[in-house]
Amino acid sequence: MRILVTGGAGFIGSHVAENFSQQGHQVVILDNLSTGRRENIPDGVEFVEGDITDKALVDKLFTEHAFEVVNHHAAQMDIRHSVEDPAFDAQVNIIGIITLLQAAARVGTKKFMFASTGGAIYGEQDYFPADENHPTNPISPYGISKLAGEKYLYYYHVQHGIKIVVMRYANVYGPRQNPFGEAGVLAIFSHLLVQGKQVTINGDGLQTRDYIYIGDVVQANALALDWPGSITFNVGTGKETNVITLYKYLAEAAETDLAPLHGPAKPGEQQRSVISHELATKTLSWKPEMALQEGIALTYRSFVAK
């Protein structure tokens, strides 16, 4: 199939593009390299440097390639930046997806896959783990723009018959994650430990997240690519881990006894987040395979090898 992977120079998109290409698909990556890196781009994949909000460029690409599938990973994904500049967040995450969807509808793209969030979209949870029917009450412009993206997808599905796949990711971790962003605690901590530096945990470190390994996320994308219908599903482990425990596993992998420092808690930070993968298991036969300690060790080793 002819597949456009947006954000394919980034962490998750590059792994997904690599897998699709290895399966024999014809993959084109569109990425503006704002947080992505050229060295992440897999061999044998065509790379176009540009912005998803550049309508002329997007239209030209779709006309040239008549993509059958769009796998949309490009985004403004810094929650704090979305708070400081909600208009920029909306420009990339809402205008960006509309630009792609308009072009997709025009050339008859069959399927649109979207990397949404299973953290920010639910907000503070009413129950744990959250399933896909949990109320969506995002408490950041980023969560709101991802939710808006889902709603636009649904509209194009109804109006234009495009099949839609919404993947609500938990906290994804693994090799190639950018350690210089605001999110991606394992990448940030691994990068510091490799340099022998102490890490700083925000607040008491008892805030929890659901950590899902990149290999499992790639597998979810691969299964959803072949899934004939439309679906919105969580991609998480259903297990909650706090930052103290996470650091303990990482310190074991790094064989260090450096103690973490504690900084002030981040105002407005979600306290607990964990999502159920029951729907994906039932429909796509997907389940997370990687044990957290093993995934952390693999991630740490990838930062050592750099």
Ligand X SMILES: NC(=O)c1ccc[n+]([C@@H]2O[C@H](COP(=O)([O-])OP(=O)(O)OC[C@H]3O[C@@H](n4cnc5c(N)ncnc54)[C@H](O)[C@@H]3O)[C@@H](O)[C@H]2O)c1
The single residue among 21, 32, 208, 219 that binds ligand X, judged by CB under 6 A, is 32
142 is catalytic: yes
Whether residue 55 contacts residue 42, with contact meaning beta carbons closer than 8 Å, is answered with no
Contact status: 9 vs ligand X (CB under 6 A) = yes
Contact status: 299 vs ligand X (CB under 6 A) = no
User: Which candidate in 122, 142, 152, 213 is catalytic?
Assistant: 142
Q: How many residues bind ligand X (CB under 6 A)?
A: 30
Contact status: 209 vs ligand X (CB under 6 A) = no
Nearer to ligand X, 236 or 260 (CB): 236
Nearer to ligand X, 162 or 186 (CB): 186
Contact status: 97 vs ligand X (CB under 6 A) = no
**The pairing of beta strand 163-169 with beta strand 111-117:** parallel
Helix (H, G, I), strand (E, B) or coil at 163: strand
- The Cα 236–Cα 240 span in angstroms is 10
Contact status: 145 vs ligand X (CB under 6 A) = no
Residue 302 burial class via C-beta count within 10 angstroms: exposed 0-12, middle 13-18, buried 19 and up: middle
Contact status: 95 vs ligand X (CB under 6 A) = no
Region from 34-42, 155-163, 256-264, 280-288 binding ligand X, contact rule CB under 6 A: 34-42
| Tokens 């938990």 belong to residue | 170
Nearest to 298, CA basis, from 1, 7, 15: 15
Nearer to ligand X, 97 or 254 (CB): 97
- The Cα 107–Cα 3 span in angstroms is 13
Contact status: 269 vs ligand X (CB under 6 A) = no
Q: What is the Cα gyration radius of the chain?
A: 19
Nearest to 5, CA basis, from 221, 161, 229: 221
* β strands within 68-199, DSSP E: 69-72, 111-117, 163-169, 171-173
Contact status: 210 vs ligand X (CB under 6 A) = no
Residue 287 burial class via C-beta count within 10 angstroms: exposed 0-12, middle 13-18, buried 19 and up: middle
Nearer to ligand X, 147 or 162 (CB): 147
- The Cα 25–Cα 46 span in angstroms is 12
The single residue among 53, 99, 145, 221 that binds ligand X, judged by CB under 6 A, is 53
Contact status: 33 vs ligand X (CB under 6 A) = yes
The single residue among 3, 4, 5, 13 that binds ligand X, judged by CB under 6 A, is 13
Contact status: 77 vs ligand X (CB under 6 A) = yes
The residues annotated as belonging to the active site are 142
Residues that bind ligand X (CB under 6 A): 6-7, 9-13, 30-36, 51-53, 73-77, 92, 96, 115, 117, 169, 171-172, 178
